[in-house]
Each structure stands twice: as C-alpha cells, then as structure tokens.
Amino acid sequence: MAHIFVTGGAGFIGGNFVLDWFATQGAHADGIVNIDKLTYAGNLKTLTPLESDPRHVFSRTDICDRDALDTLFAQYKPRAVVHFAAESHVDRSIHGPAEFIQTNIVGTFTLLEAARAYWNTLDDGDKAAFRFLHVSTDEVFGSLSETDPQFSETTAYAPNSPYSASKAASDHLVRAYHHTYGMPVLTTNCSNNYGPYHFPEKLIPLVIANALGGKPLPIYGDGKNVRDWLYVGDHCAAIREVLARGCLGETYNVGGWNEKTNLEVVHTLCDLLDDMRPKATGSYRDQITFVKDRPGHDRRYAIDARKLERELGWKPAETFETGLRKTVQWYLDNQAWVQDVMSGEYRNWVSKQYAA
Ligand code: NAD
Ligand code: DAU
C-alpha cells in the first residue's frame, strides 16, 4: 500500500486531516503514517475511529529525532509528507519560547533533512512525484490595520510573536530546500481554524468550555482584535487540493473570508449556546469578562485566498454561521473528549495564564 506521512496528526488540524482523508479519499486512499510526539496538544482519542483501520499507522515520534525519522522513511517509503507538527499556541510561546524554536525550527529542519536524504534515494519518477507540504500560518505576515488590504502570497513577512517568528523561520527553510536542492515543496499559510477536536486553550473551544462550566469568558484587551475564521474541514480540503495539484515551490494562502472581532465571535457563541443549551436564568453573555491584553497582540489578520480559488478551484464550503453551529453541537455531544483533555497539564496552564 502507498503511504503518506502526516506529522502532528494527533493534534487539532492534523487529526481532522487524518479523519477526513479516509472519509473523502474512498476505498483506494493511500495509508497514513501518523508521526506525533503526543505533547499536551496531541490526543489519541481524536483518532479512536481509526483504531482498527490497518490503513492508519501511529508512531509516537519526535520530529527532532533524525534516526527515528530515517527508520520510518526507509520502512514506509512515503510518496508525500504533510507537515502539521508544531507548537501552536501564541500565549504559550510568550511564556516559554524554547519549545517553539525546538519543534518549529529545529524539528522542521530535521524533517526536511530526513525527507531530502530519502528523496535522493528515489528513482526519477518517484522523485518527481514526491511532495513535502508544509502547513503554516497567516501570522507570519504580522498585523494589519483596519484599512490595510488582506495578506496575499507576496505580502512581506513580519512575524511578531515567538510562535509566528518560529513558523516564519520554518517557512524560509522549506523555501530554501526547494530553491537550493530542488525539493518538491508546497507551503500553505492559513488563517484561524475552528471546529471539532480543537484544544480548549484557544479562543473558541475555551469560550465554549468555560461557558458550559459557568466560568468567566476572558476577552483580551478591548475585544476588537480581528481574526479571519475558517472551518477546519475547509482547511483540510484546501490542503488536499494543494497536495494533489499545487505548483511546486509555490505558497498558497487559505482563509475563510470571515473577518470577525473577538467580541463578535464570543457574542455569537453565547447566542448559539443560549439557543442550543439555555441556562436556567440569564444569558451566557453575562459571563464575558475583559482581562489583561496579550503582549504584542496582533490587531488584525485577514487572508486574500483568491490564488487558491483561481488556480485550484478551492472555496470554503462552510459559512461562519454554519461552521460555528456545527462546532458548538460537536462540543455539546463530545463532553467526554473535552473533559479528558482538560485534566492535569491543562489546569496548570489555565492557572498560569489567567491568574490575574
Ligand atoms: P495543535 O497544537 O493542536 O497540534 C500540534 C500537534 O503536533 C500535536 O498533536 C502535538 O503532539 C504535535 N507535536 C508537537 N511537537 C511535536 C514534535 N516535536 N514532534 C512530533 N509531533 C509534535 O496544532 P494545530 O492547531 O492543529 O496546528 C497544526 C499546524 O497548523 C501547525 O503547524 C500550525 O502552525 C498550523 N496552523 C494552525 C492554525 C490554527 O488556527 N490552529 C492556523 C493556521 C496554521
Ligand atoms: O491565524 C492563525 C493562528 O490562529 C494559528 O497560526 C495559531 O496556531 C492559532 O493558535 C491561532 O492563533 P491566535 O492567537 O489568533 O488564536 P487564539 O485562539 O489563541 O486567539 C484568537 C484571538 O482571541 C486572539 O486575538 C486572542 C484572543 N483571545 C484568546 C484567548 C485564548 C482572547 O481574547 N481570550 C483568550 O482567552
């Protein structure tokens, strides 16, 4: 059976990608070797539906471990690598950037080196068909003012947090491996995702979990920072398109055409919960609390995703309203998954981040 490698496939987007891959690619889907270190953000429960599916192989491996990667490449001879594995939370990168440098930069470098060594052993046909798809973020472009045009693929990089700086460094390495060694790479830069299996340290799942738990809904600063929200299934579909038909060495911006202030997002979530799981008295909006701002908080992200639509025909299928309703329903139906990830380490993080 042919295989692809997915790194970070026990995390939020990687996990959705793996599940969607088998749901959408039909009976002849390539197998997946899912390479994940299982940090606090990785959760094997996300992959329960694939427990007895022989097409899915899970390997608990750190992408900084070159020997382990070499062994996996030699064993499975993948036709592609889809690279999600990263430290992904901006607030954690502010408290402790070291892990971000290690995984996002050193880890991507190590994975590129292992992939390059393997790629060099392939015959010409397999070499030409091989793909290394690097999943990145719109945060590498920095912050927009209210009136700036959206980020395009040619917007200059200006990362502002340790997280986005480490992702920018990894993007540059991927680009250099194409330019210097001719490796067949592709990069996607996506806006904020939301949907099932999202770890409740990020705004949308945190607000749903806190609302249901009767806790404050913390809004940083004035709540007017803008993000461009995309349903995770749409991101996964975009990655599949770029993997199948993307132009080598190119970057593709992926976004939802859904610019919302954080306050708008939280109000919408409260309204949905008021409708779908009403409280005995009052509205979930009553739990909103303004808290200290994130240091260096980027004001606005917005993606111009026209290249992906023009060249590969991709458009998001979900609107913000349909995607968010589905997401709230998923959290209501999957409280066991949420309770499981909100144990131990999660509680330590919440008391550190929201202490004041
Ligand atoms: P996540 O934090 O939910 O998951 C990351 C996964 O990577 C986890 O399963 C974790 O165990 C694994 N991992 C971490 N360090 C590792 C290491 N050294 N070796 C192997 N595995 C390791 O992240 P996410 O939100 O799913 O993001 C996935 C990717 O998409 C990241 O590269 C992120 O930068 C990018 N991205 C995320 C968003 C978003 O809104 N979440 C938007 C655009 C791009
Ligand atoms: O833009 C893509 C990026 O989106 C990804 O690269 C990151 O991996 C992902 O985490 C996300 O980054 P953000 O920092 O935008 O996401 P987060 O959910 O942490 O925050 C969204 C907005 O909500 C941001 O303006 C900060 C704010 N916020 C967040 C939290 C956790 C709050 O107001 N209160 C909170 O408690």
Task: Return the structure tokens found at 47.
Answer: 């992959």
Is the beta carbon of 11 within 6 A of some atom in ligand 1?
yes
Residue 213 lies in a domain: no
pLDDT at 350: 86
Residue 271 lies in a domain: no
Give residue-wise pLDDT tens across range 39-61.
999 999 999 999 999 999 999 99
Residue owning the nearest CA to atom 19 of ligand 1: 62
Is the beta carbon of 61 within 6 A of some atom in ligand 2?
no
Ligand 2 atom nearest to 265, measured from its CA: 23
Q: What is the pTM of this model?
A: 0.98
pLDDT at 287: 98
Distance 207 CA to ligand 1 centre (A): 20
Is the beta carbon of 38 within 6 A of some atom in ligand 1?
yes
pLDDT at 245: 98
Averaged pLDDT for residues 216-227: 98
User: Judging by beta carbons within 10 Å of its beta carbon (0-12, 13-18, 19+), is residue 196 exposed, middle or buried?
Assistant: buried
Residue of 62, 87, 139, 298 with catalytic role: 139
Is the beta carbon of 168 within 6 A of some atom in ligand 2?
no
Task: Return the structure tokens found at 287.
Answer: 């739990």
pLDDT at 313: 98
Is the beta carbon of 187 within 6 A of some atom in ligand 2?
no
pLDDT at 26: 83
Task: Please report which confidence band the pLDDT of residue 345 belongs to, taking 50, 70 and 90 as the band edges.
Answer: confident
Bridge partners of residue 59, in order along the sequence: 35
Q: How many Å apart are CA 89 and CA 76, to the nearest integer?
A: 31
Instruction: Quote the domain boundaries for residue 25.
Output: 3-194+229-257+300-317
Q: How many Å apart are CA 190 and CA 320, to the nearest integer?
A: 16
Active site (annotated) includes residue 252: no
Residue found under tokens 């600063």: 221
Are the C-beta atoms of 1 and 31 separated by less than 8 Å? yes
Average per-residue pLDDT for the chain: 97
CATH code for position 24: 3.40.50.720
Residue 347 lies in a domain: no
Are the C-beta atoms of 227 and 258 separated by less than 8 Å? no
Task: Return the structure tokens found at 212.
Answer: 């249901």
- Start-to-end CA span in the chain (Å): 53
Is the beta carbon of 201 within 6 A of some atom in ligand 1?
no
Task: Please report which confidence band the pLDDT of residue 343 belongs to, taking 50, 70 and 90 as the band edges.
Answer: confident
Task: Please report which confidence band the pLDDT of residue 356 belongs to, taking 50, 70 and 90 as the band edges.
Answer: low
Active site (annotated) includes residue 139: yes
Averaged pLDDT for residues 328-340: 95
Active site (annotated) includes residue 138: yes
Residue 327 lies in a domain: no
Residue 282 lies in a domain: no
pLDDT at 351: 85
Task: Return the structure tokens found at 138.
Answer: 């719109």
Residue 126 has pLDDT above 70, yes or no: yes
Of 189, 198, 265, 191, which is closest to residue 225 (Cα–Cα)?
265
DSSP characters over 282-307: S-GGGGEEEEPPPTT---B--B--HH
Averaged pLDDT for residues 252-268: 97
Residue 343 lies in a domain: no
Distance 90 CA to ligand 2 centre (A): 7
Q: How many Å apart are CA 210 and CA 218, to the nearest integer?
A: 9
Residue 328 lies in a domain: no
Are the C-beta atoms of 164 and 89 separated by less than 8 Å? no
Residue 344 has pLDDT above 90, yes or no: no
Q: How many Å apart are CA 348 and CA 19, to the nearest integer?
A: 30
Give residue-wise pLDDT tens across range 86-124.
999 999 999 999 999 999 999 999 999 999 999 999 999
Q: Count structural domains, the chain.
A: 1
Residue of 163, 231, 252, 301 with catalytic role: 163
Distance 13 CA to ligand 1 centre (A): 7
